[in-house]
Chains A and B, each alone.
Chain A
């Protein structure tokens, strides 16, 4: 448009021309102008907690995927993995902002300075026990085959949940889900094509992606059992019961693995939710240390 020479100058101008803008300025509140009224009969605390569950899944998986940047097997794949992570990060921002909009902030506000928007406070200033992501997304990447196996499983589950969530009684959640469905279909199909290529590839690629599938399969146990919060929201027409997506997930995974000449791992027995209630392995602590380190050391940083 010609008023500023660069994107940087445009952003700088929007923030008083002080020569810096960064994390904490709140210039890009993702729900700016969106009506965030909570529908009648919905408990804001439950709604916010559910948004943390879905948002944390996306945030943590995005962080795992970006660990492949500069290490992916080919340049195009590096771009692909970064793009998938960016979509998930966008979903995370919307969902964490939605949680903040209904006042679900946990202990993050005790640490985050006032100028930091809710979504950043939630991402950077919660401890692991306040994260609501499942074990499926926090597990280490493993090799590229295992990473794609996990992306296949995680995006299949998320796509199945989001496609139902389009009917949520919370219009903000429904809108976030409707947008996410288009993105998640790309992610799932991309991962599925890699699993196909590796499974039906060489003996070595087959062996390694089978090991990846076998490592990821048991993590489904932490995904498909509803917490009390989810059960109450399901009854209110706001959330999706994860048990309802079980058959769809099983059918999609079987279809991909069969065609990839891979063995379908034994379906894990249901276990009580762990990640969704804040119980995590040490790998989440390590991941969050990287994700949150800069923000915590320089809580009002601008650059």
Chain B
């Protein structure tokens, strides 16, 4: 009989979930993996701490570091038997970024994503015009911003510029 204890609701600062929730993202260090929705589950199966994480993008080069950081944090907290598993389905969505994560993104000068597009089965419609995404400037709050490039320094971000304060900023693009 396999004992599975889901730790979604464990409280306090010493449980494995609490420890895993302190691990930050290597590329967005202001946010934890939990804030980003990359940390999917932490549970104990027959004495082994099993951690599920999901990649943001297929090519996300940070997955190895995330796994190493999670293992290190849990080992340091005294959990010797730890397994970090990749979960591919369902695919990560920016909708999984928590309210706290969105607040931290803004505070770090990065505009949080809007609601992700719904991708139903069947053909994905072409979008030939400029992107219809909008984002308020995280620096001055002005809604008058424009996209410079759909692709930024990391796979998950686009580049925008504020027309009011003229500052460029990054925007986590909806996916």
Using a CB–CB cutoff of 8 Å, the interface residues on chain A facing chain B are 1, 3-4, 7, 10-11, 13-14, 27-28, 30-34, 76-77, 79-80, 82-84, 86-91, 93-94, 159-160, 163, 166-167, 171-172, 174-176, 178-183, 185-186, 188-190, 192-193, 196, 248, 252, 255-256, 259
Interface residues of B in 1-56 (CB under 8 A from A): 22-24, 26, 52, 55
Do A163 and B57 touch (CB < 8 A)?
A: no
Q: By the criterion CB–CB under 8 Å, are A11 and B86 in contact?
A: no
A156 to chain B, nearest CB (A): 9
Question: In the complex, what distance in Å separates the CA atom of A32 from the CA atom of B84?
Answer: 8
Residues on B with C-beta less than 8 A from A89 are 59
Does B68 lie within 8 Å of A192, measured CB to CB? Answer: no
Closest to A85 in B: B59
Interface of B is mostly: loop
**Interface pair A34/B86, CB less than 8 Å apart:** yes
| Residue pair B126, A189 in contact (C-beta under 8 Å) | yes
Instruction: Give residues 56-115 of B contacting A (CB, 8 Å).
Output: 57-61, 63-65, 67-69, 71-73, 76, 83-92
Given A1-B73, A34-B85, A178-B90, 16 other A-B contacts at CB below 8 A?
A1-B69, A4-B69, A7-B65, A10-B65, A14-B68, A27-B67, A32-B86, A83-B152, A87-B58, A176-B58, A179-B57, A179-B88, A179-B91, A182-B119, A185-B119, A255-B126
21 A–B contacts, CB within 8 A, in A order: A4-B69, A14-B64, A14-B68, A28-B67, A32-B67, A34-B88, A76-B148, A76-B159, A79-B151, A82-B151, A87-B57, A89-B59, A91-B58, A93-B58, A163-B122, A166-B121, A174-B89, A181-B119, A183-B58, A189-B128, A190-B150
User: Is B139 an interface residue, CB under 8 A from the partner?
Assistant: no
A80-B151, A166-B121, A174-B89 known; A90 vs B57 contact (CB < 8 Å): yes
- With A28-B67, A80-B151 as contacts: A33 and B84 at CB distance below 8 Å: yes
- Contacting pair B65 A1 (CB below 8 A): no
- Within 8 Å by CB of B58, from A76, A167, A180, lies A180
Q: Once A and B bind, how many residue pairs between them come within 8 Å at the CB atom? A: 148
Q: Determine the residue in chain A with the shortest Cβ distance to B129.
A: A193
A11 to B123, CA, bound (A): 40
Contact of A11 among B64, B87, B151, B155 (CB under 8 A): B64
Kindly name the residue among A28, A31, A89, A188 whose own CB sees the greatest number of chain B CB atoms within 10 A: A28
Complex formed: what's the CA distance from A76 to B91 in Å? 27
- CB neighbours (8 Å) of B63 from chain A are 28, 30
A297 to chain B, nearest CB (A): 24
Residues of A within 8 A of B52 (CB): 33
B27 to chain A, nearest CB (A): 9
Contacting pair B123 A248 (CB below 8 A)? yes
Per the bound structure, the CA–CA distance linking A28 and B175 in Å amounts to 24
* Chain B min CB distance to A58 (Å): 9
Return the contact of A183 from the options B22, B57, B73 (Cβ within 8 A).
B57
Q: Closest chain B residue to A3 by CB distance?
A: B72
Instruction: Indicate which residue in B72, B83, B119, B151 contacts A10 across the interface (CB closer than 8 Å).
Output: B72
Q: Is the beta-carbon distance between B127 and A189 smaller than 8 angstroms?
A: yes
A45 to chain B, nearest CB (A): 23
Asked if B149 is at the interface of the complex by the 8 Å CB criterion, the answer is: yes
CA distance A94 to B121 in the complex (A): 22
Cα of A169 to Cα of B65 in the assembled complex, Å:
32
Bound-state CA distance A32–B26 (Å) is 19
Contact among A82, A163, A192 with B121 in the assembled complex (CB-CB below 8 Å):
A163
Q: A79-B153, A178-B89 known; A7 and B126 CB under 8 Å?
A: no
Cα of A255 to Cα of B81 in the assembled complex, Å: 55
Are B76 and A34 neighbours in the complex by a CB distance under 8 Å?
Answer: no
Interface centre among B26, B71, B150 (most CB of A within 10 A): B150
Closest to B23 in A: A1
Residue of B with least CB distance to A84: B151
User: Which listed residue (A27, A79, A183, A193) contacts B68, Cβ 8 A?
Assistant: A27
Is B86 a contact partner of A31 (Cβ separation < 8 A)? yes
Task: Tell me the smallest distance from the CB of B32 to a CB of chain A, in Å.
Answer: 8
| Partner of B155 from A30, A77, A87 at Cβ < 8 Å | A87
B24 in contact with A1 (CB, 8 Å): yes
Residues of B within 8 A of A167 (CB): 121
Residues of B within 8 A of A10 (CB): 26, 65, 68-69, 72
* A88 partner residues in chain B, CB cutoff 8 A: 59
Whether the pair B151, A83 counts as a contact (CB closer than 8 A) is yes
Minimum distance in angstroms from B166 CB to a CB of chain A: 17
